[in-house]
Structure 1
Amino acid sequence: MAKQKTAATVAALIQPVFEDVELELVDVTFTKERNGWYLRIFIDKPGGVDIEDCQNVSREIELILDETDPIPQSYILEVSSPGIERPLKKPADYDRFSGSLANITTYAPLEGKKNFRGRLIGLRGSDVVLAVNGSEIIIPFEQVAGAHLEVEF
């Protein structure tokens, strides 16, 4: 739980970096791995991000984190694209990526299942709508435990 709180604190601190620019803060994770702690910042923009975007954002974030020092232990900062199987985090993501193939996992079973794979239709009110085998599956947004796009070949 402390990892999620740290990620949320960092996200709030760095959010101003993304105001008035075309870049979007997609996600922040803070995880312990074999080699130590990693603070990962995922960014995106229409057409995708490049290495220069990542470097510029990294420099700005480093200044903020050095000044506020919200993480007591040492860590490695990584700034990157969310990748082609990017997570769907915000309600707006579901409309933005309408028509894309997606995987959605729910906290509790819906229709006896917790994992759904289908074509994203978008949001209807506060529900995510997914087309699965010719039927619409309605998933309350607050029940989404995780969601990401899936690559199509």
Structure 2
Amino acid sequence: MFSVPPSCKQTLGSLSTSIQHQISTRPMLHSNYRAFLRRHNHTDIKPNNIIIDREEDRKEVTIHRVQLADIEDSIMVPLNRNILGKAVGNRRWRSLRAHAEARANTPSDVFSSGIVTQGSSRGVDVQVIVLQHQLWYFGNNEYITVFLKHMGDENPWGTDVNIVERLG
């Protein structure tokens, strides 16, 4: 069973977007991905499965180690072999091949890693995107107003925030 070292306390997904931006542009993050991807097909690469051992001061973030968690969602895929017929991975971070249930392999994980890294380097707030999609598919301006009222004053979105503008 895989255990997370005590010093690795935060996932990429739990960090602020400004810290994600600093971390995701570092060569160490990329080299750790490459080292892992040479051996496994993780099938579930997403920000909450990337564990970062880091220190932060006023000027910069120092990364000591980056690891992938949730190893039970990985599989050893022999060289020149593929996973076929399965839409593997988290749909938000899944490669096009995996969406099509076509050849999922190390390049698929590299693609997923790139999406996670690119989103983090831009400072994208994934929760905003997920909420945006849910409201677009199932709601309208009236629904958004009712939703905010239902959530109450202490919700992280704040009733004074114009959520329609925030969500685009």
Q: Which range, TM-score by smaller chain? A: 0.3 to 0.5
TM-score in terms of structure 1 length: 0.34
- Structure having the larger proportion of residues in helix: 2
- Structure having the larger proportion of residues in strand: 1
RCO comparison, higher one (Cα < 8 Å, 6+): 2
